[in-house]
Amino acid sequence: MRTIQAYRFALDLNRGQERVVLAHAGAARVAHNWALAKVKAVMDQRSAERSYGVPEELLTPSLSWSLAGLLKAWNQAKGEVAPWWTEVSKEAFNTGLDALARGLKNWADFRKGTRAGRPVGFPRFKSRRRSTPSVRFTTGAIRVEPDRKHVVLPRLGRLKLHESARKLARRVDNGTARIMSATVRRDGGRWHVSFTVEVQRAERTPARPQVTVGVDVGITYLAVLSTGETVDNPRHLVAAQQRMRSLGRALSRKTGPDRRTGRRASKRWERAAARLGRAHARVANLRRDGLHKLTSRLATEYGSVVVEHLNVAGMVANRRLARHIADAGFAEIRRQLAYKTNWNGGRLLVADRWYPSSKTCSGCGAVRTKLPLSERTYHCQTCGLILDRDLNAARNLAALAAELDTAGSGPVAGRGADRKTPPAGLAAVKRQPGTTLVGQTGTVPPQGRTTKRVPTQAR
């Protein structure tokens, strides 16, 4: 099975190498801003000419928004715009122009209604101080050195890694991986290099291929499995909140930048901002590490994993829970499970957003009309079952997989729910590699598109 996979390593750059990388990132920003200004100028000119009554055939020729069109315009003007263009790699300019081409395409597709999801705005100019330095290389010498502690990139030369790249080097040496591109980026005060690799993965089978597990994510526990296992929520952001407050107060006492007066930030402000950025990066790294360990264990052990299609964008509208929901990373858990179950030969089943997993009794199937969030223990009025709310939901999710296997591809009678949670007739209405959306007979909304009204009785 061939897949596209990324390998990310931290770099240890000296001052000279960092200046060269920053020069390449600055060249990408210059090309991006120049091309964006050119596009806006042509659009404004054509709009003004239309307002004067100029026929369409006599309007100023439009500028192609594709990467090839932007590159052609840049190559004609780079001698005047950037006379120093020979000092950096051509890949630096391609990086900025490619980002603009993709941004313009996404904006145009959203305007035409062919792109689902959140609104996409028109591309903006990149600031020298606020944008993240990044440059991408797709051609030239891109390799990992035999010592596996250095990488070679075009025009940047030999760069030292902070960690060993043996995982990538072994695949490249065995002929099961091919490096397609490399991106150097500064994230959290540290430079990283990310390799986009085409990998030939061996066919795998989960340790328990016939076992299905339902996963109910939450705040009290990060995940509750239908087997009865609970995964504690580490709450990395809460643990680091006191230190972040202290660093934020220290930053506010320094002389920062002011766009109105053109004042530049002091060196002490820059050092304080770097300390605060490193604290945020540490929280993100801890969260990412924990989620990867959890999803990898689930994908390698169970043949079928069932999760919910949560409206995370609507859930964070609750100001009392928004920080804790964002810290837990519900969407990231589902994203990682989607490709890891596919890699390991399993499957991911996604229950419909309106499926009443928490309000349904896992013993007799009775559905309660309302179940407030404050009620953490499920009490069934029909059969008398008393069970933890999250464990009950996880068992209901696991039961969905059994109903799907029994029904095959056709719908079966669901357990029903109230008006806000329509009947959960079971059908595989949308199939993706390793992912099946179940629990709804109607049309499935595109992933990423959220409703304006946030249901409070959906869980």
Is there a contact between 351 and 397 (Cβ–Cβ < 8 Å)? yes
Amino acid at residue number 128 = R
In the numeric block, which tokens belong to residue 155?
């025009």
* 5 and 199 Cβ atoms separated by less than 8 Å: yes
| 9 closest CA partner among 206, 194, 199 | 194
Question: Which tokens hold the place of 56?
Answer: 């369409």
| Annotated catalytic residue 91 | no
Which of these is catalytic: 390, 403, 405, 418? 390
Closest CA to 197 of 179, 171, 173: 179
Count how many residues are written for the chain: 459
Select which of 91, 98, 308, 352 is catalytic: 308
User: Left if phi > 0, otherwise alpha if psi is -120 to 50, otherwise beta: which for 355?
Assistant: beta
Dihedral sign for Cα 62, 66, 68, 74, please.
positive
Query: Residue 206 and residue 213: Cα distance in Å, rounded?
Result: 12
3-state helix, strand, coil in the chain (%, to 5): 40, 20, 40
**Is 216 a known active-site residue?**
yes
What DSSP line would sit under 295-333, residue for residue?
A: HHHHHHHEEEEEEE---HHHHTTSTTTHHHHHHHTHHHH
Q: Which residues, 6 or more positions from 380, have their beta carbon under 8 angstroms from its beta carbon? A: 361, 363, 364, 366, 386
Identify the active-site residue in 91, 98, 216, 327: 216
The verdict on whether 308 is a catalytic residue reads yes
Question: Which active-site residues does the annotation give?
Answer: 216, 308, 390
